Chain A
Amino acid sequence: MPSITKPVAAHPSLQRNKLGLTVRDYEGSMSTLCAGCGHDSITAAIVRALWELSIVPHSIAKMSGIGCSSKTPAYFVNSAHGFNSAHGRMAAIASGAIAANRELTYIGISGDGDSLSIGLGHLCHAIRRNVRMVYIIENNGVYGLTKGQFSASADIGSKSKRGEANRMSPIDPVMLGLSLGATFVARSFSGDKEQLVPILKAAVAHRGFALVDVISPCVTFNNHETSTKGYLYTRKHKRELTETDFIPPAAEIVADIQMASSNGNTGVTMHDGSVVRFRALPADYDPTDRQKVQEYLRRYQGTSEIVTGLLYVDENAPDVHDLNESSETPLSHLPFEKLCPGAAALDQLQAEFR
């Protein structure tokens, strides 16, 4: 809303990142979501993560579909291009954008309606292509903008504000992602910034599709006592499987990297040299073993517990550009001379058209 603006000046005491920017430089316009919306906390975590990573703001591309969640790219990094596209189509549009320019940092924001119903097909195929992007599902189990219908992530037995119970089984983006071969799968909670920020930083560093499911309560339509996606319920049933530390490339972490999968500690070196260090709370949990992760998570399916953490990561799978052996120079930056074969080649080609 144009009437709500933020003050332009930043307080001089604000901390600066490697680029000399303050957290204010990563903010966007004022949110127009309901007061207390989980999505705004996620926005704050995104701002924090991008600032801490010192990402050049205008090298970010913000992608979204339609819905409450999809409005949020307007609320962070004003100096980055944003594309608030069409309902469910963000993964496809982002895939095309990423094909064109592999050098930008792509932050996709979606919701459970956008991703698990109308856009489910596109999400699945973006995972299969391992398109390099952060894909956040702001998951509240409900359609907000159309006033409270169940979404595909609503749990069996969860009741709507009007008291109607959902009877269909939910689509769990985490299990879905794992079964489709997703190379980075995490779940967090909008109310747990301490957990979410390092996960988001690791997601940005990941070379591939980073699926981040964030339980993000809808204060207006799905935060009542009989909801399984409300603040109270999520706090009560959240079970943290891993604790994540993100260590940027230049830091002194040599000793830690060696410490692979022992005593519940795992270090995964990301493509850019940064390291994601896990401390698995159950000591036998290995976030690099897809099979075991799936088995582990299956134990919690159908229970009231909500498993969170950076659950799975595979940094060695080929991403969309590897799979297509595409040019290191972004396709959109290739000079025309490299692309057009010219008149002489056309004559040669036409020798076959006889």
Chain B
Amino acid sequence: MPNSIDFRAGVNDFAIKLANVNGTGSASANSLLMQSMFRMGLPVSGKNLFPSNIQGLPTWYEIRVNHRGYTARALDYDLMVAMNSQTYERDIREVRTGGYLLYDSSWPLDSELLRDDVTFLGVPLAKLANETFADPRERTLMKNISYTGAIVALLDIDVKIVEGLLAEKYSGKAALRESNRRALYLGFDYAREHLTCPLPFRVEPMDANADKILVDGNTATALGCIYAGATVAAWYPITPATSVMDAFKGFCEELRRDPETGKNNYMILQAEDELAAIGMVIGANWNGARAFTSTAGPGISLMNELLGLAYYAEVPAVVIDVQRVGPSTGMPTRTQQGDLLECAYASHGDTKHILLFPANPAECFEFAVKSFDLAERFQTPVMMLSDLDIGMNDWVVPRLKWDDSYRPDRGRLLAAEDLEKMAKYFRYHPPDENFVAARTLPGEHPSGAYFTRGSGHNKLGGYTETPSEYQEVMDRLAKKHKAAARFVPGPVITKRLNAQFGIVTIGGCDLAVKEAADVLGERGTPVDVMRLRGFPFDERVEAFLDAHPFCYVVEQNRDAQLRSLLLLETSAAKEKLRSVVSYGGFPLSARQVVEGITAQMQGDEAEQLAGARRH
């Protein structure tokens, strides 16, 4: 069995990579390409691999088109667009044998770029831009649109669609629209005239996107918070979560200005730090608003203290964690799933939290809404763990749906009239079947008053230092967390006939794992796949682990944190859970999964052979 995957190019099946310098306007040119292929109905993905920098450092954009819907990262490229001399050397290495490289032929081909098994496509981009545009900044920007034009010709992309996109983007800015159009055709016409168009791999219109949208996870998350009825948002700017709040603000300005009063039916507080951001969220939820914060790993680290307060005092809170590469500052513009354990047990003492793991922007929308319902039902922090790849890249996902009969699940919340009927109210007693007691809001009714504290308290909410009274509350909280297992989104399980083992995965690994499982199946190793979507784990998770001789846990962090969480929170034996990890900061590829699994399987075979020889 081969231990890797070769991605073969063909019609609607190829990958291209664009190497640029950041801050030159390449990002919008590159997403234009991706968007035009989306509009042609193709399954497509675009991954922006960018530096933590404003201008001057290398940045890449990858586009993969695949008619079967495999749009995880490809890892080798049929076409490289080499626009950054700083990275020529590594970029040329990534072109597959028989692939192509597009370069700016205004100057002679750099010797670093030479390779016998690659076809070079020269377009004098700088020359064309300099002849056509006068302003230096315009020349740089339009050079990007010109290579886009050349690629449109080479891949047989419908140039009218690209023109249409430029018209939409610059509607009302006629001059800009015209210079973009000119730049597009500079490259397009040059390629048509001087190069063999189209290339052997190219696009043909499909109809895969009729009921799909193109959206990034952070926008979808923000929309989920709007639809859930969140009114207070507190945050501290941090990559890659900032665009959650940018989008939330945008939607609020559009949708939450009261038509009658002209006032804002929301408040966004840019906090002084993440300590304050989570504090504000806790204060607002305590006072009856639906409130959330968006952050990344460093923010979660700072929020640990108050997450423990909300857990112990049983205050709802919603935290959106758009994960990036840690530890410490790490690589802020690169993706990872490194916050699993930190979030699961955030804060000192015995704490456990409810976590949701979306795999794509559509789930970001759905799970953001769900987070608020769970936080209020279980009166505890809920963290949704997205990541930079999901949050900041545009994804093709099914159109978002909304059921107008939805009403927020406020959990056990007493109104004045309920309190009126009660002889005596206690905040933490009596609990219901999910170990949750009724809460009251300040200002509602005199007999609803209670004293919220993070210090030791008994089951009635009174201060205590008595061991049995303290333990009684802690035991109820443990049971409450367990009870949430039935309410978080369940695992997505895909079964195959005669599966030899299982793969367990999470979040943004989804597409790469699906593709890898298909490849393994086609090669005679059928596997079952379980993608986890929530913590605590329910009995289906336990049953899946139980039903397989062993499972590979595929995740994006060094220490196999999901595997650890499974070992801690299920009865799975340590030797049954194997690990495949990728943690370099770029989104996962099916190749890494296939390689990781087959290497371990070959190791097993070698061991068995050696064992047989010994006997």
Contact = CB atoms under 8 A, between A and B. Distances in A.
B454 A84 contact: yes
A81 B280 contact: no
B289 A99 contact: yes
B126 interface: no
B574 interface: no
Nearest to B262: A325
A354 B214 contact: yes
A82 B452 contact: yes
B21 to A, nearest CB: 29
A108 to B, nearest CB: 11
Given A80-B442, A327-B258, A92 B283 contact: yes
Interface string B209-240: 00001110001000100111111101000000
A37 B451 CA distance: 22
A6 to B, nearest CB: 15
A332 B267 contact: no
Interface string B447-474: 1111111110000001100000000000
Interface in A121-140: 121-122, 124-125, 129
A122 B272 contact: yes
A327 B289 contact: no
B281 A340 contact: no
Given A58-B446, A100-B232, A101-B288, A86 B255 contact: no
Interface string A196-214: 0000000000000000000
Interface stretch (B130-138, B185-193, B398-406, B500-508): B398-406
A63 to B, nearest CB: 8
Contact of A96 (B263, B279, B440): B279
Interface stretch (A71-79, A231-239, A254-262, A264-272): A71-79
A341 B255 CA distance: 7
A122 B275 contact: yes
Interface in A316-354: 320-321, 324-328, 331-334, 336, 338-343, 345-346, 349-350, 353-354
B176 interface: no
A73 B450 CA distance: 11
A140 to B, nearest CB: 21
B459 to A, nearest CB: 13
A343 to B, nearest CB: 4
A95 B283 contact: yes
A81 B230 CA distance: 23
B443 A101 contact: yes
B280 A99 contact: yes
B451 A334 contact: no
A163 interface: no
Nearest to B441: A332
Interface residues of B, number: 75
Given A59-B443, A350-B400, A86 B269 contact: no
Contacts of B223: 346, 349
A75 to B, nearest CB: 11
A79 B449 contact: yes
A103 interface: yes
A141 interface: no
A95 B275 CA distance: 13
B287 A332 contact: yes
B275 A96 contact: no
B231 A58 contact: no
Interface of A is mostly: helix
B309 interface: yes
Interface string B429-452: 000000000001111111111111
B283 A339 contact: no
B271 interface: yes
Contact-residue bracket for chain A: 35 or more
A346 B446 contact: no
B400 A339 contact: no
Interface in B252-272: 255-256, 258, 261, 263-269, 271-272
A120 to B, nearest CB: 10
A58 B288 contact: no
Given A99-B269, A346-B400, A81 B282 contact: no
A327 B264 CA distance: 5
B407 interface: yes
B267 A331 contact: yes
B81 interface: no
A2 interface: yes
B263 A80 contact: no
A122 B282 CA distance: 15
A187 B445 CA distance: 34
Nearest to B38: A354
A95 B276 contact: yes
Interface string A28-54: 000000000000000000000000000
A58 B443 contact: yes
B213 A353 contact: yes
B51 interface: no
A339 B256 contact: yes
A57 interface: yes
Contact of B403 (A63, A103, A332, A343): A343
Contact of B284 (A58, A97, A334, A349): A97
Given A80-B449, A82-B451, A89-B279, A353 B256 contact: no
B276 A122 contact: yes
Contacts of B352: none
Interface in A89-117: 89, 91-101, 103-104
A58 B273 CA distance: 31
B537 interface: no
B98 to A, nearest CB: 34
B51 to A, nearest CB: 27
B408 interface: yes
Nearest to B216: A353
Contacts of A353: 213-215, 219
B39 interface: yes
Contacts of B399: 350
Most buried by B among A86, A124, A333: A86
B282 A93 contact: yes
B415 to A, nearest CB: 12
B443 A103 contact: yes
Contacts of B258: 327, 338
Contacts of A57: 446
B305 interface: yes
Contacts of A349: 223, 251
Given A103-B443, A341-B227, A121 B276 contact: yes
Contacts of B284: 96-97, 99-100, 331-332
B245 interface: no
Contact of A326 (B267, B281, B401): B267
Given A83-B452, A86-B305, A101-B442, A96 B264 contact: no
B306 interface: yes
Contacts of B287: 61, 96-97, 100-101, 104, 332
B288 A100 contact: yes
Contacts of B215: 350, 353
A85 interface: yes
Given A96-B279, A331-B289, 12 more contacts: A79-B449, A82-B451, A83-B283, A85-B279, A92-B275, A96-B285, A100-B283, A121-B272, A324-B268, A325-B263, A346-B227, A354-B213
Interface of B: 38-39, 213-215, 219, 223, 226-232, 234, 251, 255-256, 258, 261, 263-269, 271-273, 275-277, 279-289, 291, 305-306, 309, 399-404, 406-408, 440-455, 462-463
Top 7 nearest A-B pairs (CB, nearest first) are A96-B283, A92-B279, A96-B280, A100-B289, A332-B288, A81-B442, A97-B283
14 contacts: A79-B446, A81-B440, A84-B454, A89-B305, A97-B283, A122-B279, A321-B267, A327-B264, A328-B261, A332-B287, A342-B404, A343-B403, A343-B404, A346-B223
